[in-house]
Amino acid sequence: MFVSSKKSARLRLRIASQSTIRTASGRELVVAEIKTNKPIPPASHGTVRLRGKLQ
Amino acid sequence: MKRFGQAVFGTVAGQIIFWVVVSVMLPALLEELFALNDWLSKPLGRLAEWKADSTLEGRLKFIVLFIVYASPIAVIAGFIASRLKSREIEAAMPPYRSRSNYERLIADVKETVSSRDAANELKAEKINLLFDALIEDVCHLFQVQRTGVRAVLVINNRGRHKLTSWRWGRACTPDQDRMDYKAIDKFLETELTYPTWEQVKSHFDHTDSDTLLFIRNSGKLGLGCLIAIENSIDLEAHLQEWEHIVRPFTMLGHMDKLVRFVVNYT
C-alpha cells in the first residue's frame, strides 16, 4: 500500500588505480581508472553557475 | 529561518500574504516616518535662522551652506562620471579572441586518432596540444598563471560504472585528486554541458582550487574535462567568451575513436 520514496544515492567517483606515464614529448601524464557507484546521467546543452557551499 | 523563507517565497499563498502585508504596512510605516519631519528640519531651520553678524560667522555660514548644497550635487556628478567611465572602458576593451584555431586542432586530433599508421605517442601528443591550447586560453581569458591551472580529462570507459582519467598541469596531492573527482561528481549531476563552480574553497575546506570549470558532451558522457583554477576569477565578465571557447570541446565526446584511444592508452 505504501510506496517507498527512498532518495537515490548521489553519484560518487572513486579512484580504482592510478599511474604516471611520460609522453613522447617528456610531459608527465597521470592516468587513472575511476569507478562510479551508478550510471552517469546524460546531459543537455547549457550551463549553471554553482557558487560556494553546495548541499 | 530557511524553511520559513521557503514557505513565504516558495509558495503562491505565501507570496500573496507577503505582498498583502507589505501593501498594508508600507503606507502606515511611511506615515509614521512623517513624524520625523520636525526633527529633520531642525538643523536646517537653525541654519536659516542663524544671524551671521561678524565676518567670521558669515564665512562659516557660507561654508556650511556650501557643503549642504554641494554634497548631493557632488554625489550625483560622481555617480554619472563613474557610469560614463565604465562605459568607456567597456567600449575600449575588445572582446577576447582565442589565439587557437580549435577547428584545425580538433580536425588534426580526429585525423591522427583515426589513422592506423600514426604512433600512439603522436596521438597522445595531439590530444595534449589541444588541451594545452584550452589551458592557454583559460590563462589569457581569466588572467591567471599557467602554474595555477590543472586539467582533468574523464572519459567513459564503455562500462556503465567505469571511467578513465588523464590529468596534467598543476601538481596535486592524492587528497586534491579526490576533491577533483568529488567536484566532477557534482558537475555530472548538473546534467549540463558546461557548468561552473565559484568560491569552491567554502565547500571543500582544504582544496587548492577556488574556481572549477567543467565541459562535457551532451547526451551520454563520452568525454568531460575539469579545469581547476587556484584562485577566484571574474567569470561574470567573460562568460560569453567562455561559452564560445568551450563549444567545440562539448563535441569531443561524440568522437568515438578519440574516446576509445584515451581508454586504451597506457
Directed axis angle between helix B12-33 and helix B2-9, to 10°? Answer: 100
Over range B40-45, report the average pLDDT. Answer: 88
Which residues 13-32 of A have a C-beta within 8 angstroms of B?
Answer: 13-16, 18-19, 21, 23-25, 27-32
Question: Which contiguous run of DSSP H or E holds residue B223?
Answer: strand B223-229
Strand order in the sheet with B211-216: A13-22, A28-36, B162-169, B149-156, B223-229, B211-216, B196-198, A49-51
pTM value surpassing 0.90: no
Write out residues 194-253 of B within 8 Å (CB-CB) of A. Answer: 194-199, 202-203, 216-221, 235, 243, 250
Q: Is B193 exposed, middle or buried (0-12, 13-18, 19+ CB in 10 A)?
A: buried
**Cα–Cα nearest to A34, from B68, B52, B216, B165:** B165
Cβ distance of B161 and A38 shorter than 8 Å: yes
Closest partner residue to B121 among A11, A23, A37, by Cβ? A23
Chain B closest CA to A6's CA: distance in Å?
18
Q: What is the pLDDT of residues A1-55, one digit of tens each?
A: 444 444 567 888 888 888 888 877 777 788 888 999 988 999 999 999 999 888 7
Angstrom CA distances, B25 to B1, B19, B21, stand at 22, 10, 6
pLDDT tens figures, B110-121? 999 999 999 988
Residues 6+ positions from B36 with CB-CB distance below 8 Å: none
Question: How far is B65 from B48, CA to CA, in rounded Å?
Answer: 9
pLDDT at B159: 66
What residue ranges do the domains of chain B occupy? 2-92, 102-264
Its CATH class, for the domain covering B102-264, is alpha beta
CB contact under 8 A, B124 and A36: no
| Binary contact (A48, B164; C-beta < 8 A) | no
Angle at which helix B235-246 crosses helix B120-142, to 10 degrees, equals 150
The larger pLDDT score, comparing residue B31 to residue B92, is at B31
Q: How far is Cα B122 from Cα B189, in angstroms, rounded to an integer?
A: 34
ipTM of the prediction: 0.82
Mean pLDDT of B132-156: 92
